[in-house]
Structure 1
Amino acid sequence: MSKFISKMVVGLGFLAATFAATPASAQSSAMITTGITSQPVGHYEFCKRYPGTCQPNASVGVVSLTRAMWTKLVEVNNAVNSAIFPRTDEEMYGVPEVWSYPTVQGDCEDYVLLKQYMLQREGLPASALLITVLRQSNGEGHAVLTVRTDQGDYVLDNLDDRVLAWGDTDYEYLKRQSERDAGKWLAIADDRNILVGSVR
């Protein structure tokens, strides 16, 4: 995993310069969560394989959205989006839902897991990097990585190389990991339980 990440970032890091000028001009806001909700089955199975990634966080905080931090977010988003080929879980495994770290191909949540892993290795706190489940405007389920910052919540999305304030997307956000415990999930606005869909 480490060799793959190093090679990917070195080879694709130059892409960040194209997109990383400054954060969005309008400050984002923080998502409002409404309490504990169900954990996606794919994440539950992932936690059984990687229990260390699904523990309570020692501390809870946000990241300071400096110019350098913004560049880092854009760089990681672009590097993973460029390196991983989108494939559905049905195509890869013959089953509807498998969450895993991708190396060549992956589903939407696989992109999220790799971005989360890479940013944690860069020193960002786990409490600020939250897997988030949502519904697209076409009704399909999807997953993105929410980054909690001192200027609001932003999302890293395999369907968009831009890092956007969550409120600037046309998604309906459903639930995300708890910032206090990576193995628990919180509802966003409502607690409707949907299956995470596949990338296009």
Structure 2
Amino acid sequence: MFNIRGQGLRLAAIAILLTVNAPAHAGDEHPLYASLGDTTRAPIGWIDFCNDNPTECGNGASQPRDIVMSQAAWRDLNKVNHWVNENVKPMTDMDHWGVIEKWSLPTDGYGDCEDYVLLKRKMLIDAGWPREALLITVVRDRKGEGHAVLTVKSDKGEFILDNQNESIVSWTDTGYRFVKRQSQGDPNVWVSLGDGRPAVATASAK
């Protein structure tokens, strides 16, 4: 079992009960799904992470899948988002590792934005969620800085798990500009989301 500071991460071990509501149906004014562009380069840090953690990066192409966003699924998403945001402490890669950018599972309890994403993704996959619906996504935040979030593809739209936001919201309600994310068909293929500015570093503390 994967542990962080001695605490198990499987959903069965998460004893956090949040009062949450299922997502409302998106109105006609907001698209449910982001528009995909051409394939693009993986973000800095992903390839090295996969070399160090091959089991976290999938086994090639697969069939795209969306989850059914039931009340139970929505509760589980909120539990994971809350637990990771509370239990991982923000630290830049420079302070943590002495390098500008390094993707890693936060086994010691510290990490930056993409490390939060990697752990949320791992917890959900370990709990039986399809990796094809859990897409690491690079955005530009409200300051124009590179940032990583987790996109959850569902039958009710795309929702964002974010270490900078305790609430899970539709991708259209984040205020972010979406740059690129993993392909649903292959986690090692990345597709553009329309923002052409380069996102050199995704690291972001809370």
User: Same fold by TM-score, threshold 0.5 exceeded?
Assistant: yes
Distance 2:69 2:3 in 1: 28
Counterpart among 63, 74, 89 of residue 67 in structure 2: 63
Q: Supply the RMSD in Å over aligned alpha carbons.
A: 1.9
In the superposition, relative to structure 1, how do residues 158 and 130 fare at CA in structure 2: closer, same or farther (>3 Å)? Answer: same
Distance 1:24 1:73 in 2: 15
Q: Which residue of structure 2 aligns with residue 126 of structure 1?
A: 131
Distance 1:64 1:8 in 2: 20
Give yes or no for contact 1:84–1:111 (8 Å, CA) kept in 2: yes
**Equivalent residues in 2 for 1:39-50 (5 A)?**
39-50=42-53
Distance 2:70 2:116 in 1: 24
Distance 2:73 2:148 in 1: 22
Partner of 2:45, secondary structure, is: helix
Distance 1:139 1:193 in 2: 11
Q: Which residue of structure 1 aligns with residue 85 of structure 2?
A: 81
Partner of 1:63, secondary structure, is: coil
Number of matched pairs:
198
Distance 1:83 1:102 in 2: 10
Percentage identity across aligned positions? 39
In structure 2, runs of 5+ residues without a counterpart are: none
CA displacement 1:154-177 (0-9 Å, x = unmatched): 000001111100001100110001
Q: How far did residue 94 of structure 1 move?
A: 1.0
CA displacement 1:79-102 (0-9 Å, x = unmatched): 000000000001101110000000
In structure 1, runs of 5+ residues without a counterpart are: none
What is the TM-score normalised by the length of structure 1?
A: 0.91
Q: Which residue of structure 1 aligns with residue 199 of structure 2?
A: 194
User: Is residue 13 of structure 1 aligned with residue 15 of structure 2?
Assistant: yes
Distance 2:184 2:9 in 1: 30
Partner of 2:188, secondary structure, is: coil
Distance 1:10 1:84 in 2: 19
Counterpart among 102, 112, 119 of residue 98 in structure 1: 102
Q: How far did residue 106 of structure 1 move?
A: 0.5
Q: Which residue of structure 2 aligns with residue 23 of structure 1?
A: 23
